[in-house]
Amino acid sequence: MDVFKLYRNCFNRLRLFVLYWRRIVFAPNHMKVGFLTKLRANFCGGFLADQWALYALDGKKKKEYLSEFDWYRSRYINEPFDQMLNNKVVATEVLRQYVRVPEVYLVKTRAGIVDAGHCTKDGAVAVETLRRRWEAFMKPFGKGKGNGVHRLRYDGQDFWVDQEKKSAEEMKRLFEKESEWYLSETITQHAYAAGLYDKTCNTIRMITLRDPDSGRIKLFFAVQRVGTAKTIPVDNASQGGLVCKIDLETGRLSHAGSLHTTQIYEEHPDSGIRFDQVIIPDWEQTKAEIVSLAESLPFLHFVAWDVVKMEDGTNCVIEANTSSGVNIIQLWGGQRNGELGNFYRKHGVIR
């Protein structure tokens, strides 16, 4: 084993140790699971307390489910190319060769706020960019789960961060204070997606993987993510958004579930739309496009694509992720002994 590989393995193990304590042991307990049960979940398999309640784990049943720690271990399957997807700005520049992606307006690095020709520490540059563009998403380029994402808007007189009014000076201070962010284009979503809930951009999470038996890329799983009044401006399930399973053959949505409650939602709590009456338009074309995209990057064995169908029917890839949280998959049944579990075993994630 060369020195670099040894260093990388040691670093990954240390990172997993830190993640275990930060993201599992000290994770929020939305389901109000009892303390002793929480400890049992955390230390007997690496489950979140919420997962214990969400999956109704007891006795042998936990052997059917992948845990939060299993997911963290899976994040290295694409190594060393995982770093390409972990940095959202870099991923966007790579993917634009193959598919429609949101335009990146500005990037805030350690050196300052940069675009194609300038670098400055003056937040006024970002304020003027927002004036010209009217709308933009402000996102951290190294985080996930919708953390740190804001929808920015200029209405011709006032600035808005999500639903909070700001002055130009307040916006300037925001841009200067926050680090490692980028401003990107907002996408006008298709009528079907806006009909689900029009206050958030509702993305399709499509998971492709390389089948261990055939060696071919396939679409393994897909869900429709839907925001609510409590999650504006994002639709992420980890923030409390809703998740509908998509029938891979027909594109029809199922009922919705949540990662913060065991409640089943037949209808959207805010828009009132019935989920199982919705079919994603041009589903066959969307599937073919995403599988073809995954085949264009053969060194990536697993990718979770976040796709928005635009108002003209075009598919726009908002993000590509090197892994996917197992919760949005296992709301519909455990995967430890299923296709995902078998894939993880092939790559040494679980035994």
Q: Residues 19-71: pLDDT tens digits?
A: 889 989 999 999 999 999 999 999 989 999 999 999 998 766 889 999 999 99
The one-character DSSP state at 99 is S
Same domain, yes or no, for 196 and 335? yes
Same domain, yes or no, for 47 and 27? yes
Q: CA torsion 12→18→23→26, rounded to 10°?
A: 170
3-state secondary structure of 40: helix
**pLDDT at residue 119 in the model:** 86
3-state secondary structure of 187: coil
**Mean pLDDT, residues 256-276:** 96
Could you tell me the sign of the dihedral formed by the alpha carbons of 173, 178, 180, 184, in that order? negative
**Mean pLDDT, residues 109-116:** 88
**pLDDT at residue 62 in the model:** 86
**Mean pLDDT, residues 90-111:** 95
**Could you tell me if residue 229 is inside a domain?**
yes
**pLDDT at residue 143 in the model:** 67
- For 206-246, write each residue's pLDDT tens digit: 999 999 999 999 999 999 999 999 999 889 888 889 999 99
**pLDDT at residue 20 in the model:** 86
Report which secondary-structure segment, H or E, holds 53. Answer: helix 49-54
Contact 206, 219 (CB under 8 A): yes
**How many C-alpha atoms does 4 have within 13 Å on its Cβ side?**
1
Whether the pLDDT of residue 1 is over 60: the answer is no
Whether the pLDDT of residue 344 is over 60: the answer is yes
Q: What angle do CA 195, 331, 20 make, to 5 degrees?
A: 115
Same domain, yes or no, for 228 and 301? yes
Whether the pLDDT of residue 141 is over 60: the answer is yes
Residues of the domain holding 329: 189-346
**pLDDT at residue 13 in the model:** 83
Whether the pLDDT of residue 117 is over 90: the answer is no
**pLDDT at residue 11 in the model:** 78
**Could you tell me if residue 221 is inside a domain?**
yes
Same domain, yes or no, for 233 and 155? no
- The residue out of 148, 169, 184 marking a domain boundary is 184
**Spatial CB neighbours of 218, under 8 Å, sequence gap ≥ 6:** 208, 209, 210, 211, 291
The one-character DSSP state at 262 is -
**pLDDT at residue 347 in the model:** 96
Whether the pLDDT of residue 142 is over 80: the answer is no
**pLDDT at residue 15 in the model:** 84
Listed range (10-14, 19-23, 247-251, 285-289) with the worst mean pLDDT: 10-14
Write the burial class of residue 238 (CB in 10 Å: 0-12 exposed, 13-18 middle, 19+ buried): middle
Q: How far is CA 242 from CA 94, 103, 184, 300, 343, in A?
A: 30, 27, 24, 28, 26
**Could you tell me if residue 351 is inside a domain?**
no
**pLDDT at residue 145 in the model:** 63
* Mean pLDDT taken over the chain: 93
Alpha-carbon distance 341 to 16, whole Å? 19
Q: Is this structure's pTM higher than 0.75?
A: yes
**pLDDT at residue 175 in the model:** 95
Same domain, yes or no, for 268 and 293? yes
Whether the pLDDT of residue 337 is over 90: the answer is yes
**Mean pLDDT, residues 130-141:** 94
**Mean pLDDT, residues 273-291:** 98
Alpha-carbon distance 282 to 286, whole Å? 6
3-state secondary structure of 322: coil
Same domain, yes or no, for 311 and 220? yes
**pLDDT at residue 14 in the model:** 86
Same domain, yes or no, for 139 and 217? no
Count CB atoms within 10 A of the CB of residue 248: 14
Contact 154, 129 (CB under 8 A): no
**pLDDT at residue 118 in the model:** 81
Alpha-carbon distance 193 to 48, whole Å? 31
Same domain, yes or no, for 309 and 195? yes
**pLDDT at residue 318 in the model:** 95
